[in-house]
Amino acid sequence: QLQLVESGGGLVQPGGSLRLSCAASGFSLDYYTIGWFRQAPGKEREGIVCINSGDGTTYYDYSVKGRFTISRDNAKNTVYLQMNSLQPSDTAVYYCAAGFGVRSPVVPAQYDCWGQGTQVTVSS
């Protein structure tokens, strides 16, 4: 059974940091593009970061570039999202997703497997 499990969300003050983890089971992450998406209340799910299989090239949306960093540990079959300088506008449920042959990294339909999501709340 293919499964992704996110962890690491929580409540943090503005300017703080969190590290999200996305652990895979049932398949090897290093053959897939892994994307991080987020969905705030009343808004559509948006793709913010992805890392490609093979060469490990990355994509960052302008809203998180310079603050968020994606990395992968193939030995642990886990992808991480380090989030620094968090702002209230970053509050959302964060999802990781895996896709094979992804051409448009911010399009949710390009991904085949999704985690259950983890809540990130940035508030003082």
Phi and psi (nearest 5°) for 93? -90, 130
Please give the average per-residue pLDDT across 42-58, as a whole number: 92
- Confidence bin at 68 (pLDDT 50/70/90): very high
The pLDDT, as a whole number, for residue 29 is 86
Q: Identify the CA nearest to 10 among candidates 122, 115, 124.
A: 122
**Spatial separation of the C-alpha atoms in residues 14 and 112, rounded to whole Å:** 33
- Confidence bin at 55 (pLDDT 50/70/90): confident
Phi and psi (nearest 5°) for 78? -135, 140
Q: Is the model's pLDDT at 54 over the cut of 80? A: no
Please give the average per-residue pLDDT across 57-77, as a whole number: 95
**Spatial separation of the C-alpha atoms in residues 107 and 96, rounded to whole Å:** 13
Please give the average per-residue pLDDT across 87-94, as a whole number: 98
Indicate the average pLDDT of the chain.
95
